[in-house]
Structure 1
Amino acid sequence: MSGTSEHSFPFPILIGDIGGTNARFALLIDAFADPKQLPPIKTGDFETIEEALQKSILDKTSVQPRSAILAVAGPIRGDEIPLTNAGWVIRPKDMLSSLGLEDVLIINDFEAQALAVAAPADEDLVQIGGGSIRPMTSRVVLGPGTGLGVGGLVFAQHTWFPVPGEGGHVDIGPRTERDFQIWPFLEPIEGRMAGEQILCGRGIMNLYRAVCAADGVDPVLTDPAEVTTHALAESDRAAIETISLFSTYLGRVAGDMALIFMARGGVFLAGGISQKILPALLKSPFRAAFEDKAPHSALMRTIPTFAVIHPMAALSGLAAFARTPRDFGVATEGRRWRS
């Protein structure tokens, strides 16, 4: 039986990655077992997380978890944690009392993505361009999805420290002549062009409409999936340019984050959009934009960039942490509840 010291959680541990649309869970029976994958849950199908867990998981498994480590999209402040893009409000005290748990830790979703790149498996990555991972050095994760998530991972004192933040909201500006033609037609956020206004699902549409407006043509595609499909099939000129520019701007922001963190351990692209547009990312604009950071272009060429193709990367990060919490400097103050 596991002790419940500051550095450990009692097994079995329920780990979960709760996004705007889907919540994914797995059970970790002990420190040596592989996580047992559970069926994903649509957040909209249940009023509360307690109901979702009870009906979808606890009623259907003989193994009852004693602790839960959950990654959520949204800031964690106080005893009520509203999700950014879903209807649930997570109340860890309610989870302790109604689900029979002893220990609940809530962390940021991009902290979990960062934990996952401490020791990623080769088969979970596709390298984009050159460079090589320098072990035990800082890393960065960017995830264009519903928004633009950014997380850092810093190595110090034999420990990996995930650094959550709001890096997706940094300013992004025009550089090329074409950028200056498109920029007046982009929809800003309160007068400002943030990375997330372009580098996410709705951002693809923002960029596509701006490309059409700059060329004086009517937009005919109506959602991001249509734009990416036409771009990859090379069947719509505006869609092709949209995804090419998206790749360029993602490369620029990824390069900025690499410089901030001195990420010699690599920059990792997580999330559904990166996987969907991987063929476009493997072509030139992403990597060229990433490296184009004078006076540090020579340095940038040594830093590798990867697409993460593991469908449950955040869960693998949570599992690594749950097994050996001492290896990771995950802040628990104000984010851990015990019965």
Structure 2
Amino acid sequence: MARPQDSDKPAFPILIGDIGGTNARFWILTDVFGEPQQFPNIHTADYDTIDAAIQAEVLDKTAQRPKSAILAIAGPIEGDEIPLTNCDWVVRPKQLIDDLGFSDVLVINDFEAQALAVASLPEHYRDPIGPVTTAPVFSRVVLGPGTGLGVAGLVHAQETWFPVPGEGGHVDLGPRSDRDYQVFPHIERIEGRVSAEQILCGRGLVNLYRAICMADGIEPVLSIPADVTAHGLADSNAQAAETLRLFVTYLGRLAGDMALVMMAKGGVYLAGGISQKILPALKRPEFRAGFEDKAPHSALMKHIPTFVVTHPQAALAGLASFARTPQHFGIATEGRRWRR
């Protein structure tokens, strides 16, 4: 992949955005070296369109007039109209150019942005789970439960980090243990299948909790992810506590699968708000046990480090690194960049 020429780099000021199913976050970078201008988080449900949200919550509140925009969105990018997977917004780059005055709009996957963060953030923004090992400069995986479940790879070659986007959150997730076989029949299916995202995300926590209650023959009393998490961490509700144990076990299994797919000897990184909130549960034995239980390659898995990314705005930090020094990263822009 050719390195970007100076004339091909996005022009400052640059609006960068991390747009998920529930929240949207924006910064403006005025130049290569300056601190970003930060804006409060936006609830996607509060605005009918991303255009209206950017206008009201960003452009109307600053004298800066961004020339370029780099947006990381939770969903696959195909064509000129890009729907998000877990909210009603549709990103229309040509309309952003016509209506909001941008001359250059690049749209990438939200977990590409998380991968950019993993490639560029200092070590103090990663908290190790399990054995403390230095992550070598080898392939890595980043995944994280949030409104949905994002997954991306990160390959290092020719002194350049190449994020590899994907939709790994939608792979099948199946039962293994006797307890799994009691619980899984009660997991809500999508067209006959249980995908990882049906369990390993915010609503998935509730799905799993309800399935455990049904397997135990009791009525669920919790209905929102935060309550399941709080009671699980406090061990104040038996089904919520088991929900967290199974959640981190299944997350460990999936993380191990992705590590094998990418041969991610450089480590697996858990991103997103849920990973940070359940850090005490992740540090218990279940996550690493699920991660390492990959016969005939269990010995290999023991040497792959796992981390939680602790930066509060990791995706934006990754986008900022790319915006400032795009020559350090291999981002494919074909079909994902629109210019006036």
The TM-score with structure 2 as length reference comes to: 0.94
Please give the alpha-carbon distance, in whole angstroms, between the structure 2 residues aligned to 1:53 and 1:182: 43
Please give the alpha-carbon distance, in whole angstroms, between the structure 1 residues aligned to 2:336 and 2:192: 34
Which range is displaced more, 142-151 or 129-138?
A: 129-138
2:40 pairs with 1:39: yes
Q: Is the 8 A contact 2:115 2:153 kept in 1?
A: yes
Give the SS at the match of 1:137. Answer: coil
Point out 4+ residue stretches in structure 1 off by more than 3 angstroms: none
Q: What is the 5 A alignment of 1:101-180?
A: 101-180=102-181
2:11 pairs with 1:5: no
Aligned residues: 337
2:50 pairs with 1:20: no
User: Which residue matches 1:222?
Assistant: 223
How far the C-alpha of 1:74 sits from its partner, in A, is 1.5
Q: What is the 5 A alignment of 1:255-274?
A: 255-274=256-275
How far the C-alpha of 1:4 sits from its partner, in A, is 5.8
Please give the alpha-carbon distance, in whole angstroms, between the structure 2 residues aligned to 1:273 and 1:68: 27
Please give the alpha-carbon distance, in whole angstroms, between the structure 2 residues aligned to 1:201 and 1:46: 21
Q: Give the letter aligned to residue 237 of structure 1.
A: A
Please give the alpha-carbon distance, in whole angstroms, between the structure 1 residues aligned to 2:233 and 2:124: 24
User: Which residue matches 2:205?
Assistant: 204
Q: Give the letter aligned to residue 245 of structure 2.
A: S
Going from structure 1 to structure 2, the CA distance change for 1:222 and 1:41 (only over 3 Å counts) comes to closer
User: Which residue matches 2:336?
Assistant: 335
Q: Is the 8 A contact 2:135 2:305 kept in 1?
A: no
How far the C-alpha of 1:274 sits from its partner, in A, is 1.0
How far the C-alpha of 1:95 sits from its partner, in A, is 1.4
How far the C-alpha of 1:188 sits from its partner, in A, is 2.1
Please give the alpha-carbon distance, in whole angstroms, between the structure 2 residues aligned to 1:4 and 1:54: 29
Percentage of matched positions with identical amino acids: 66
Going from structure 1 to structure 2, the CA distance change for 1:50 and 1:216 (only over 3 Å counts) comes to closer
Which range is displaced more, 225-234 or 187-196?
A: 187-196
The TM-score with structure 1 as length reference comes to: 0.95
Q: Which runs of 5+ in 2 are unaligned?
A: none
Please give the alpha-carbon distance, in whole angstroms, between the structure 2 residues aligned to 1:201 and 1:60: 31
How far the C-alpha of 1:131 sits from its partner, in A, is 4.9
RMSD: 1.7
Q: Give the letter aligned to residue 205 of structure 1.
A: V
Please give the alpha-carbon distance, in whole angstroms, between the structure 2 residues aligned to 1:46 and 1:186: 32
Please give the alpha-carbon distance, in whole angstroms, between the structure 2 residues aligned to 1:217 and 1:191: 25
Q: Give the letter aligned to residue 139 of structure 1.
A: R
Which range is displaced more, 186-195 or 316-325?
A: 186-195
Q: Give the letter aligned to residue 57 of structure 2.
A: S
